Chains A and B, each alone.
Chain A
Amino acid sequence: MSSIDTQVLESLLDMLEGDQDVLAEIINCYLMESPKIIAAIQTSASQGDADNLGKTAHNLKSSSASLGAMDIHQLCLELESKGKNGNLAGSLELVSQLINEYAQVEIDLKKLLQSSSCTPRYL
């Protein structure tokens, strides 16, 4: 599970007092919301809409970090910065990295949901 920082998930589960059902709920929410945001990021990048790119990348950044998807967080950070600065050079490349990375994160998170124990500690 290289795409997910399990420590982050562990501390989230601590906060939830070990409530794995609720953790699953949060992960499901992330898996529901993120593809929409990624599509918006892709559109913004291909249309050269810097302002929107910054905003949409910001949206994905926090939720990804909160679930330990640190690579996505990093990619979003870069995209957000490009959007803010209005310099979109290399952004399409970053978006395609983001899509690939998200595909991995999605797989890992789904695995996590399917595993009967659903306990990050044993991943």
Chain B
Amino acid sequence: MAPSIHTNHTLVLVVDDDLVIQMQLRLAMEKEGYEVMVAADGKAALDICLNSPPDIVLLDAMMPVMDGFICCAQLHALDPNISILMITGLDDQGSVDKAFEVGAVDYITKPIHWAVLKQRVRRLLQMHWLIKEFQYKVKQEQLVAKITQKIRTSLNLELILSTTVIEIRKLLKTDRVIVYRFQPDGSGCVIVESVDPEWSSMLGRVFKDTYFLDKSSHKYRHSNVYVIEDVNDAGLSPCHIDLLNGLQAKANLVVPIEQEDNIWGLLVVYECSKPRKWAKSDIDLLTQLTYPLIMAIQQAELYQQLEVANQKLQQLANIDSLTQIPNRRSFDQVLEREWKRLEREQVPLSLILCDIDFFKNYNDTYGHQLGDECLKEVAKIIYQVAQRPGDIAARYGGEEFALVLPNTDTTGAICIAEIILAYIRTRNLIHESSQISSYLTLSLGIATIIPQSSSSPKWLIAKADEALYRAKLTGRDRYAIYEYSLGELGYESRNVN
């Protein structure tokens, strides 16, 4: 619970085996307006402290079962902040010394002077509250520092928000803390939550009604914190009460998270078990936290924009703008990567270089615009063929295209080449100025290797290029193969019809 300095609730534990004195002490404390619990011996006192820690303990020094000094030491060990007032005999300096040794903050002698007792208890309680408030302030500052630190070291908004709700719930000792995010249409969704398992979760819940929006446009403006101490006694509209009852809320605090004029969302704290008189320090904590939260949101949003821009840039850097398939740069990267991988795995890597036959004539006949259309058509075909995971079809340069085919031996590469040649034929793209056909044709050079450290991707490209040259020499509209195992004489060229 937050420091009770903001409430009138004070709990006093009276421990005395003498029932007459115990009764007098209880009455004296009750007359002061405190709530009083009594115990007749040290063991019973410890049990009470474990279950409902008192603000102050009036402890008789001489008791059976467990004497006051042992009890005092154990209470002190249980909670060093507990205020213990020892009651000793008047003539007993030894007891007084012993009392301080075991952690009592003060003592009073028997017979009890009632005015002295009351004044001493008042003073000790004042001190007790001051210490508690100070400790709470320290915790609060630590929390703000922790969240601010999280924001500095993380751009992950969800992580920051999760940390925030968890820590707030811990500090306020409350049942549920959420962050609710508005959508442009006025609806909204609970995006993070920390909830005691005893209560139902709101995470992911969407609120379509305009309830939150209405609130946001009126009461939440100007950083107002919306405070409800008792849902059923706050003059709320029936539908508002229904909504809060549905959320098991008995009390809540709502803080808007505002960016300039725009309400991004809400930070909401719910007390589910009972109504709660919120302390000023609770409210202050939340308003104090909204500033770092807004910073975190802005940072995260900027980062998201940057990510999108980066992705776009990455795409621009790797995609050929005309054909929209991977460009030479991308091809080089993939070939390098696959080479290394397959060198480790010792499996074949094939490369097909592909060139449009008599493309210069095509451009001269139909103009560059139709020439571009032709490149797009060919790009589409080879892109469709290279569909296995790991395959890549790229524009290698000019009218030349390349296919990187990992885990593919010569037979597999031939198969792909044949599909490409068959595909282009079925397209029947007219090419009047071709010297070998009335339709557009392609020449393909295939090279396959199991990558070795003694060789390199450059070597593979050179060999595919040689094979391509050979396909051109032997009549075009065909593929030619270079096989490493066949050595320098290993050319084979085929025109598949």
Residues of A that sit less than 8 Å from B by CB: 8, 11-12, 14-17, 22, 25-26, 29-30, 33, 55, 58-59, 62-63, 65-67, 73
Contacts and interface: CB of A to CB of B under 8 A. Distances in A.
B31 A30 contact: no
Contacts of B118: 15
B20 A67 contact: yes
Interface string B7-26: 00000000001111101100
Q: Which 9 A-B pairs have the closest CB atoms?
A: A63-B20, A15-B114, A65-B111, A30-B20, A62-B110, A63-B18, A29-B20, A62-B21, A33-B19
B17 A12 contact: no
17 contacts: A8-B111, A12-B114, A14-B115, A15-B28, A15-B114, A15-B115, A16-B27, A26-B23, A29-B19, A29-B23, A59-B18, A62-B20, A62-B111, A63-B19, A63-B21, A65-B110, A73-B111
Contacts of B23: 25-26, 29
Interface string B92-135: 00000000000000000011111100100000000000000000
Nearest to B31: A17
A40 to B, nearest CB: 12
A85 B114 CA distance: 31
B107 to A, nearest CB: 15
A62 B237 CA distance: 60
Contact of B18 (A15, A17, A62, A73): A62
Contacts of B62: 58
Nearest to B60: A62
A73 B111 CA distance: 10
B64 interface: yes
Contacts of B111: 8, 62, 65-66, 73
A71 to B, nearest CB: 14
Contacts of A11: 113-115
Contacts of B24: 12, 15, 26, 66
A74 to B, nearest CB: 12
Nearest to A22: B27
A29 B17 CA distance: 13
Given A17-B31, A22-B27, A55 B64 contact: yes
Nearest to A73: B111
B115 to A, nearest CB: 8
A22 B110 CA distance: 21
Given A15-B28, A17-B31, A66-B111, A33 B20 contact: yes
A15 B29 CA distance: 10
Nearest to A13: B114
Given A29-B19, A29-B20, A55-B64, A66 B112 contact: yes
Identify the interface centre among A22, A30, A58, A62: most chain B CB within 10 Å of its CB.
Answer: A62
A8 B352 CA distance: 112
A67 B24 CA distance: 10
